[in-house]
Structure 1
Amino acid sequence: MTIEEASKFFKNLVTETDETSEIKVYKKFISILSQLESRGLSEDQLRAIESKLDAFDIDIPRENRKKYYNKRLSEFITYLKKEFSLISEGYYMTIGMSLGMSLGMSLGMTFGVVFCGSNGLIYGMTFGMTIGMSLGLAIGAAMDANAKKENKVLSVKCK
């Protein structure tokens, strides 16, 4: 199944349902597929993507369509990330914030207890988490900006 055929298929599914959450899944697929079409991929890359779409068997009627296509969407995004280094918007910022909070909290607890005794535990943890989250967000935002410059970002938002 070509990217264009898959896009038409999901556009057709949008018209067949009234369920908002189901429509969001289809629109996310459509958005990603249209971005891939306009990306100027090589023939080999297009064939790889099309074979992945074929492997999903998306054109076979399903009983619980939303659940099935939502799972396939997650698999497709993971595939694009692994094979083509394409990431979703805010990917690095999310990771940076999580790591920053974790490391900041543990370091804050350690230094809070060392410098302020048992009363410093809460203050150190709070301060460390805030500083760690801020640093993680800043580093993640810089990495996201760099990925955007390299044209490695896919918008997964539905339009």
Structure 2
Amino acid sequence: MTLQEAYNFFERLKTKTTNKAERKVYEKFAHVLSKLKSREFSKDEIQSIETELDRLNLDSTSGNSKKYLQKALRKFEKYLKDTFSLISKGYYTNLGIGLGSSFGILLGIVFLSDFERSLGIAYGVSFGMLIGLIIGRSMDAKATAEDNVL
């Protein structure tokens, strides 16, 4: 399946559905494909992307097309990240906030236990999320400067 065929496929699906959740998945996939179409790739790289689209079997959706296409979108984004170092907007920020809050809980339990336990955990999560946000934003800015953001 070529990039244009896949883009047209998701545009058709987007017009047919009335479900908001399905529409969001279709729009996200169409957005990624439109950004890929506007980038400069070699013939081999385009062939590789189209092979990956064929491997996802987008045409043969099962009974729950939303769930299947969400999974296919995650696989496709992982492929783009691993192969071409292309990430979605806010990727590192979301990752930083998640990891920061996880480590913040640990920080709150271990080091801030002098406060009431729930207060220590709350402070730890807050500090962890703040640190993760700062690191994630800086990494997103770096990726944007290197033109690796879809």
TM-score bracket, shorter-length normalisation? 0.7 to 0.9
Q: Which string of whole-angstrom CA distances, capped at 9 and with x for unpartnered residues, describes residues 70-117 of structure 1?
A: 22112111111111111122211122222222323323333334xx4x
**Corresponding position of 1:134:** 130
- In structure 1, the residue corresponding to 2:125 is in which secondary structure? helix
Q: What is the one-letter code of the residue matched to 1:153?
A: V
2:100 and 2:128 in contact (8 A); partners too: yes
- Cα RMSD between the aligned structures? 2.0
What is aligned with 2:22?
A: 22
Q: TM-score scaled by structure 1?
A: 0.82
Gaps of 5+ in 1: 155-159
In the TM superposition, residue 120 of structure 1 has moved relative to its aligned partner by 5.0
Structure 2 gap segments, 5+ residues each:
none
Aligned to 2:92, the other structure's residue is in SS state helix
Report the count of equivalent residues: 150
Q: How far, CA to CA, are the matches of 2:20 and 2:118 in structure 1?
A: 43
Report the more deviating stretch, 27-36 or 80-89. 80-89
Note closer, same or farther for the CA distance 1:106–1:67 as it changes in structure 2 (3 Å cut).
Answer: closer
Tell me which stretches of 4 or more aligned residues in structure 1 moved more than 6 Å: none
CA radius of gyration, larger in: 1
How many angstroms apart in 2 are the aligned matches of 1:110 and 1:20? 43
**Alignment partner, residue 157 of structure 1:** none
Q: Cα–Cα, structure 1 residues 33 and 125, in superposed 2: closer, same or farther, change >3 Å?
A: same
Among candidates 141, 145, 150, match of residue 141 of structure 2: 145
Q: 1:42 to 1:130 in 2, by over 3 A?
A: same
Q: Say if 2:61 and 2:68, in contact at 8 Å, map to a contact too.
A: no
Q: Which protein has greater RCO, CA pairs closer than 8 Å, 6+ apart?
A: 1
1:100 is aligned to 100
Are residues 59 and 121 of structure 1, via their aligned partners in 2, closer, same or farther at CA, if it must alter by over 3 Å?
closer
Distance 1:36-1:103 versus aligned 2 partners, 3 A rule: same
Quote how far apart the aligned CAs of 1:138 are.
Answer: 0.6
